[in-house]
Structures are given as C-alpha cells and as structure tokens.
Amino acid sequence: MRTVFVLFDSLNRLSLGPYGAKSIKTPNFDRLAARSVTFDNHYVGSMPCIPARRDMQTGRLGFMHRSWGPMEPFDNSFPEILEANGVYSHLVTDHLQYFRDGGATYHTRYTTYEYLRGQHGDAWKADVAPDWAKLKQKYHPLQYNETRGVDQYHHIINRQFLQEEGDYPLTKCFDSSKEFLDRNRDTDDWFLQIETFDPHEPFNAPERFKDSFPTDYDGPVLDWPPYGRVQESPDERTEINAHYRANLAFCDEQLGRLLDYFDEHDLWDDTALIVSTDHGFLLGEHDWWAKNRMPIYEEIAHIPLFVHHPAHADQAGTRRDALTQTPDLMPTFLGLHDCAVPDEVTGQSILPLLVDDTPIHDVVIFGTFGSAVNVCDGKHVFMLYPEHVTIEGLYQYTVMPTTLNYLFEVDELAQADLVAPFDFTKGARLLRTPAMEKSPFNPFFGPQVFFDTETVLYDLDADPKQETPFRDSDIELELVFAMREQLRRHDAPAELYARLGLPAPVGAGPVLLTRQPEAAE
C-alpha cells in the first residue's frame, strides 16, 4: 500500500464546494469528492495547530493534560510505527510550528522530511535594517509590526522574497511532493504527508487569485485578521474575506496539480489519498475572527475529510454521516499499512466506514487546554465551561517543558511536582507544572484570553449556524455522562473534573510523588 495524506491548515469547511460553498468555486475539491468518500461529521479534538497534530500522530486526545507542546517520549507516533514495520514515511511541509520550541519533536519522527521556508512568522530571511518607512505605508496597522521576533515582523521581511508563484511555500510543497512521487511511485510501502500552512493567515496568495475577488477596499495590504471580535469597517471585513477566498483558490489549484498526477499515472488504482485539516477558522461568523479565544463554534470544530481507498473505489462520490475525529486518522493510517494499533490509542480507524456507515463513536469531545470541554453526538453540541475560567487549579503534565516559541519559565519549573504515571505514559512519571500569569502560553491560549465563557447547548439540526443557544437538563445530563466517560477513558486529571463541576471517577489521578516544600507545609 502507498498513502498520500494532504493536510491543509485552517480550512473553513463551508468554504468548500463539496460542503455547500456558494461564494467560491473549488473545482479540485469537487474533483476530489467525486473520487472519494466525503465525511460529513468529522470533528477536531485538541485545539489549535500543534495540539491537533499531537492528536493526529498519537491517536489520542491531549488537551486535558497539556496545552501547546511537543511529542513526548512516551507518545506513540504513527510514522515511527510505520517505519518499524518497513513502511517509509516522508513529510513535506512549510508549517513553521514544527521548527519552534513547542513542536520540535514531530517532524523528526518521519523517515525523512523537507521544510520549505517563508510562511507566516518563520524566522527565515535576515534584514538588519529594513526600510520601515516604506514598509509601514504598505501594510495595514492591524498587521504591521517592527518588533523583532514577533510573527508580523518576520512575515513583512519574508514577503519581500515571495515575488513569483514558484517562490511561495505552498507551490514549493506540491513541487517537492511531485519530485517524491516521480522518484518513488513505482515502489511500494510508503507514506507521503503533504502539509501546507495555507490557507492559515496571513492570507497571502499570488495577485491573480485576488483578482477574482474584487472589493471596494482602497488601502494598504490587509490579509491578516486579528484574533478577536470583528471591529473593522465593512470594506475591511470584505477585503479580509476576499483574501481568504483567494488563498483557498490557490490551495485548490495546487491540490488540482496532485489530482492531475494521480490521473496521469493511474495512482487511483493502488494509492490511498486522504485530505483534511487541523481545524476551521471564523471569518466573521459570530462576530469573531480566527480561533482560540471564543467558543469552538462549528466553523472551527466541524472540519472536512475526504478519503480515497483503491479497494473501495466503488464508493467514490458517496458520503458518510458517522461521527469521526482527528485522532481517528492515526489508527486509519496504521490500518492502511496493516500495522497493529497500540493499546494507548483511543481513536478508531475509519476504514470500516468505507464499507458501511455504522457508527464508530457515540460522541466526540474536543477542546482547548484550560477552557471548555465540548461534547457532540452529531445532533447537539454541549459546551461545558468551568464556573470561573481561572488559572487556579490548572496544571500541565509533561516531561518536555516547551510551548509555542518558548521554554517553560523557570518559576513554573520551580513549582513543579513529580507525579505518578497516567495510563498512557507507559510508566513514565511526569512533571505537574502550575499555570501562572507569566506562563508563556498564557498570552495566546491561557484562561485570561477566553471570552463568552457561558455553558450552552446547541441543536445542530434546528440551528446549524449556532445562533440560538439554549439549556435542556435532560439532554445535558445525557451528554455530560458521555463526556465524563470520555474523560475517564483518557485518564483526565482529577482537577479537570473539579473545574467542570463533575464528580471524578474513583482512582482519578494524578498521585503526587513529590511536593514543593511550601505546598507541603
């Protein structure tokens, strides 16, 4: 078996033709759907980017124990398991987060990898004395920043070097993937992951794509929405959305190059193709931009998934209603290559769904560390927030104390306790570090940036746009029981139950093995 996995970042499902998009044409996603099984109830797990990738690579949810962080020594890794079973894995990516402190143990799990530079805030090109007076005129104040080290600073510098379409990291990803296929398409037992940062913000695409989405906006470059409430003028909002559509059209065209290659070389007959994303993105819906700070609405949580399997080519163009989730990808990849699934994996292979639509999950849960736990049964979504979203009683569990671009603060580690193993750590003890105001993850994903933190219930059939939250004790009780079972299944720490106002199961950990002197007194 040979497998190609295409992972886009921040795909808004409802912007794709196969999921009902009207404002943009995505002919190559349409082509893909005609060749694949399209999954209509695929959901995120841990949020956002790197937590989602840990779910994908390990096959289990991690947001109950950890925020943004690297693969841990005890984690199961599907590319490592593939390699141990004689299956070559290769990663082609322009995703800069793999090469920062909080994600630096993911790409090295693959047999080989290639990194294409220049996306987002990649610390790539060196320009010691930029012409800031000129650059300030070019970019909207929302995305202009002269502070060294911040993402906008690096993007402004890098963007000067993206002049031709062949310079764009997205193009280079698919160029490099074609080179891999040229060299290896006549061999067997390989897994190719093509991972692109697009259409993640900034929504930077060649100008010809933007030409298809004209607006009345007349100002400096504005293609990087803030992570916050929509406060821009109508023309500015339209401009940002036009750039997202342009970037998505760019992604669609590059996907088409891969589909052309499959057509030209008859890869449909002997190569699996899976296409998905890590999470969605709010483009003004619910009066929000982006993700992380607000509730994980459907536009973020409910994501696309397309699966082509040569042995089930007769299912091309069909759809599935069964609930699936990001961690299900890992056991699916292992199943494609006849590899055993480790005991610690909680995801379920979706391969049986290619035969029939018998459910593999009754519910799925998803969330961001420190915020709500959300549960969905396909009909309802219940968002259960702590009564008070604070850092009190909030801990991270790790033996790899890095996050996003940063090492943990020394003060965090000075207050760390050693705790007994969880049931998925293979006997490894962990550091339990308290969340602090100065924790590096706090300015980005910490509790002080969460808004609209009210526990709510949504009926997805009657209210698919989630405009009318309500409460129903009978429905909520059923969903809370299901949520609690999923937390138990993932060995969630006892304090998470307490934060959510739920009774902890007997034996919920962790057991402290050491205690800081001030805490013991």
Q: Are 339 and 85 in contact (CB under 8 A)?
A: yes
HEC string for 459-505:
ECCCCCCCCCCECCHHHHHHHHHHHHHHHHHCCCCHHHHHHHCCCCC
Q: What is the pLDDT of residue 517?
A: 62
pLDDT tens string 305-337: 999 999 999 999 999 999 999 999 999 999 999
Give the helix/strand (H/E) hosting 8.
strand 2-8
Q: How far apart are CA 54 and CA 19, in angstroms?
A: 26
Domain boundaries, the chain: 365-520
- The DSSP code sequence of 229-281 is B--S-HHHHHHHHHHHHHHHHHHHHHHHHHHHHHHHTTGGGTEEEEEEES---
Confidence at residue 520, expressed as pLDDT on a 0 to 100 scale:
44
Q: What is the pLDDT of residue 509?
A: 84
Output the six-digit token pair for 128: 């010691």
The two structure tokens encoding residue 150:
């911040």
Residues of the chain short of pLDDT 70, as ranges, are 444-447, 516-521
Identify which of 390, 487, 399 has the alpha carbon closest to the alpha carbon of residue 439: 390
